A = this chain, B = another copy of it.
Amino acid sequence: MVTIKDISKRCGYSVSTVSKALNNSSEIGVEAKEIIKKIASEMGYFPNAAARLLKTNRSNNIGVLFIDEMQSGLRHEYFSAVLNSLKDEAERLGYDITFISHNIGNVPMTYYEHCKYRNCDGVIIACVDFNDPRVIELINSEIPVVTIDHIFNDSTAILSDNLKGVEDLVNHIYEFGHRKIAFIHGEDTSVTQRRLAGFYKACEKLGIIIPDYYIKKARYHDPKTSGLATRELLELKDPPTCIMYPDDFSFIGGMNEIEKHGLTVPDDISVVGYDGIYLSQVLRPRLTTFKQDTEALGKEAARNLVNAIDDKKTYVPKQVWIEGELLVGDSIKKIEF
């Protein structure tokens, strides 16, 4: 491994001069800088992040906490899309990312300990149980934290505008003449609460009253439970004309159930999804859905965390709402009211 010491020997300058030159310090003469840089590059020098960290207390490393209830982990297009964008932006800003877990080898550790162990400059938390004391410990620590899709006290949060998303969907459905709208929602999280709020708010504004039996609970990213909910809805004496699903993927479960009943989308029953994942746009009929801007979510998370890291003293936590976009497909039938 080539170190600055090696370069120093090779070019005659002292170690510190070499260090300064490579860090573009203004103290060093232009010509010395050039020589040193040239030799460094010739020798294939590359700094050692660990050694640098030891001095600077900066790892240029961001921890990512990414655990979901369904244990689908990275196999969840919404989250992997966010992660992907997050990673790209972090790299652009000069940071690597490290997954944070609660045990490494056979040594159990808390999330916080793992972050300290790896000297993470900051952490992004997504998709975890925010009631877990270990998560709370991490959020309350001195490590800068950004949460995604969850507001935790006054830490910075990047939030997909779920309220507006559902409102837009309901309004859109309403315009197509539907009044009997059912809503299948996921587990009881803050995201779900916002979506429900958006649903009721929109309905109220439009003056339509939704009976309780049109509201069904399922799980996110789980076609099975959404399938069951769909069945219950279809078998009602007064079934809805349109069903809203927790997410695009879950709709697959509903789709199967609808077909089992000999019905077709959208002629017999209209549907909408949520997320706007790739799948929704390749299904036929194309699914009307609300596309969450995963690109922006990941990017903003990375940017805000880096801001928080850089201006640790003056940074003020904030909430960043990311708007989504209605994707109009062919899954809603225009009906006369």
Contact = CB atoms under 8 A, between A and B. Distances in A.
Interface of A: 1, 46-51, 53-54, 59-60, 73-75, 77, 80-81, 83-84, 87, 91-99, 101, 103-107, 109, 113, 116-119, 223, 252-253, 255-256, 259, 278-279, 282-284
A105 B61 CA distance: 12
A81 B77 CA distance: 11
B98 A98 contact: yes
A296 to B, nearest CB: 15
Nearest to A63: B96
A94 B106 CA distance: 7
Q: How many copies does the complex hold?
A: 2
Given A97-B99, A104-B91, A106-B94, A46 B113 contact: yes
A101 to B, nearest CB: 5
Contacts of A255: 284
B74 A81 contact: yes
Nearest to A53: B50
Contacts of A109: 46
A16 B208 CA distance: 74
Contact of A104 (B94, B113, B278): B94
